[in-house]
Structure 1
Amino acid sequence: MKIHKEQAEHYIWGDGCDGWYLERDSDRTIIQERMPAGTCEVKHVHQKSKQFFFILSGEAKMWIDGTVITLKSQEGCTILPGIPHQIRNESFEAVEFLVISTPSTRGDRTAL
């Protein structure tokens, strides 16, 4: 079945960040997210879910268990279960990215 971001279930998180569920079931979620300049998520960890972040546009900083990496457009990284992490937008422009979680992160997030 075809899906477009504008038809997907939308939610707002953090400080004015947007998310769109492109796929949402217990086995996997695929979310497109948009973070305005200067925003970040809370540092957290998932015990069961593996996540893959892929930058569509802009630039993000990923804090991964104390190490910071920069992800630019068309770059991504995998976060394994049990690894503390946080995505940040320290740039002056919005960043858009995909987050693919296997299995779903529902009920599997602990803030640090």
Structure 2
Amino acid sequence: MKISKETAEHYVWGTSCDGWHLLKEESLSIIHERMPPWTEETRHYHNRSRQFFFVLLGTVTIEMNGKFYEVNQQEGLEVPPTTPHQVYNNTDSAIEFLVISQPTTKGDRISV
């Protein structure tokens, strides 16, 4: 079945960030996310889930184990299971990226 941001299940996270479930399966999750300028998520890790962040628009800053990575448009970064991480938008423009998780992160998020 064909899917897009316009037809996907939408949700709001944090205070003003958006997510669209492009694929929502137990074994694999693909989410298109949008973060407004100067927003961040809560630092956390996953026991089981391996994640890959792929930037569609802008520059995403990802902190992983105390090291900061600037991930530009058309670049990606893998976050292995049990790795504390946090995503930031430290820019004046909205950013958009894909979060691919295997397996899904549902019930597998531990805040630190």
Give me the TM-score of the superposition, normalised by structure 1: 0.99
Find the counterpart in structure 2 of residue 38 from structure 1: 38
Letter of the 1:102 partner, please give it: Q
Aligned match of 2:69: 69
Which segments of 5 or more consecutive residues in structure 1 lack a partner in the other structure?
A: none
| Partner residue, 1:108 | 108
How many residue pairs align between the two structures? 112
Distance in 2 (CA, whole Å) between partners of 1:28 and 1:16 is: 25
Kindly provide the amino acid, as one letter, of the partner of residue 109 in structure 1. R
Tell me how far 1:69 sits from its aligned partner: 0.6
Give the drift of 1:51: 0.1
- Give RMSD over aligned pairs: 0.5
Aligned partners of 1:41 and 1:15: how far apart in 2?
10
4+ runs deviating over 6 angstroms = none
Distance 1:74 1:47 in 2: 27
Partner AA of 1:35 in structure 2: M
Counterpart in the other structure of 2:2: 2
- Structure 1 residue 102, shift from structure 2 partner: 0.0
Identity %: 48
Aligned to 1:21: 21
SS in 2 for 1:7: coil
